[in-house]
Structure 1
Amino acid sequence: MFNKKGLLTISMLFLLSLVLFACGGGASDGGGSGDDSEGDAGGGDEEGEQFIQVLTGGTEGTYYPLGGTFAQVINDNLDNVEANATSTGASVENMNAISEGDGEIAFTQTDIAAYAAGGEVMFEEPNEDFGAIGTLYPETIQIVATQDSGIETVEDLEGKTVSVGAPGSGTNANADNILEVHGLDINEDIQARDLDFGDSTTGIQDGTIDAAFITSGTPTGAVESLAATSDVTIVNISTEKAQELMDQYSYYSEDEIPEGTYGLEESVSTVAVQAMLVAHSDLSEDLVYEMTKAIFENTDQISHAKGELISAESALDGVGVDLHPGAQKYFDENGISE
């Protein structure tokens, strides 16, 4: 019995010593923790690294390589920012991804941005989750075929197998508009194929499709690859039809593909929309300001040929949607307005 009581007493004394030791240790650590906490607060001005996903387009188009260049410019000129370009299905997919929070910056066409903002055409609900950074360069609508195809006019596409762009791309909307003003229906008068630029030109080369709509800055890599093995033709859009298109859809403008592009023997008249950059509205005003400044004040660092067309002075031409506050701040500071 004594042994049990003695054992119980010893156990209680042991437990009490542990409690006292823990309390003493806690007081000591508390003093140290206070010092460490003050040290952390002092270094809290340094922001954590910000990851920026730049949503582009297919690897054979203009968005993807240009997006890679933009990412590099941002990384070279902003501290604590890591930007990366990602290949996507282009404009429509990008606007949906921005709405879902799956990207921070996105390439898109001005017409698609306007559709997204208004919840029109391919968008069921208005997208209020983005603001424009600025427009970049004309995106030329190129109706590509080979000279052997015999396709010379838009009307010649009737009954033909024609690529009208990857699902989720702005090219599809452009094809629909252009066919419409020429009296053709995209669903009834052609055999439409939803292919990206690379698959489109491969299909033309293989003979599985007859022609393709490609909306992209010229020269487009996929078309250049086709021109390296085949004699390429770009279908002309007359001034009359271009004007009809512009009267109906204000975001189009006349454009021209110069002689010599893709080996063309003479220039080709067509139409274009504008390529633009948008940013997610959750990005801070300061961050978007700095990225806008980095892009438009370092165009000499843009290795892509389209860099020659990109400038702050023209960045509000045809923008068509509200600017992100950070971009607005940059253009206001530089006296640039629409």
Structure 2
Amino acid sequence: MGLDQAATKPHEQLAAHLAGKMDAVNTLIRARMASRHAPRIPQVTAHLVEAGGKRLRPMLTLAAADLCGYGGDYDVHLAATVEFIHTATLLHDDVVDESAQRRGRPTANLLWDNKSSVLVGDYLFSRAFQLMVEPGSLRVLDILANASATIAEGEVLQLTASRDLATTEDIYLQVVRGKTAALFSAATEVGGVIADAPEDQIKALFDYGDALGIAFQIVDDLLDYQGDTKATGKNVGDDFRERKLTLPVIKAIAAADAEERAFWKRVIEKGDQRDGDLEHAIGLLKTHGALDQTRQEALEWAAKAKTALAALPENPVRQMLLDLADYVVARIS
């Protein structure tokens, strides 16, 4: 069942359950993205923040804190921190990838320029660090600061690995853990930490976020070759045109004969792409079962995320998080 066919989507259930907290998060985000001296900062930030994203990462922080019985207000600060980090990385990513569309809208770097996107991203990172300090927890600060560094490390690793045919699935997983899963796992982990949950529950929340983030990115990479532009907000084949070695391609290259390998070398390593190459690439992915194998791996990671939640209290929020793991892979199920 696709996401658009789902009658009640888990992220909407979470949003309804956490409505009061999410309103507080959104209010805090709007207040902290303001700038007295540089009006372009709120202009650029609002373009992305108000673009209709699901706010999945901050909801994960609020849900984790709620699941562990937290009754304070600092989960709101941490959720806003997570969203600022995410938004900053999106602004930077679109510059690096030379993207023209995100969430079905023109990217900030296209509407303004690369300099504005990079500098506003830097501003949001700074705001994130101001927010993460406010709860007064060194452990929370350590988790989120490490996640920020890991995200940047993953993006840099992707620069060198994404166009190298020698890139393995292990390296791909390392990239994904950096650029995507690190923020998912930090979002859930800090929710448990701020609630002063037992260590086994904090570890379970980390494991859930890690596996969910990996499943999320694998699905995203798969949909680049078989998705619906209207549903995803991205053009089919963007990763191919940007010469990114994602999991489906890595699997196809591993099974390629000499002629097919020469094709991948031309279009990925050399960047010599011609009319019909995307269609040929998709044909090779299907021939070698790379799309089906990638789909199976995404489903396995979603299952790992669900298994991790066994250590958490049984209540409606846990069920929503279980359903969320299924939801993340619903587009390919």
Shared topology, TM-score over 0.5?
Answer: no
TM-score by length of 2: 0.26
Normalising by structure 1, report the TM-score.
0.26
The structure whose residues are more often helix, as a share, is 2
Which one has the largest radius of gyration? Answer: 1
Higher strand content, 1 or 2? 1
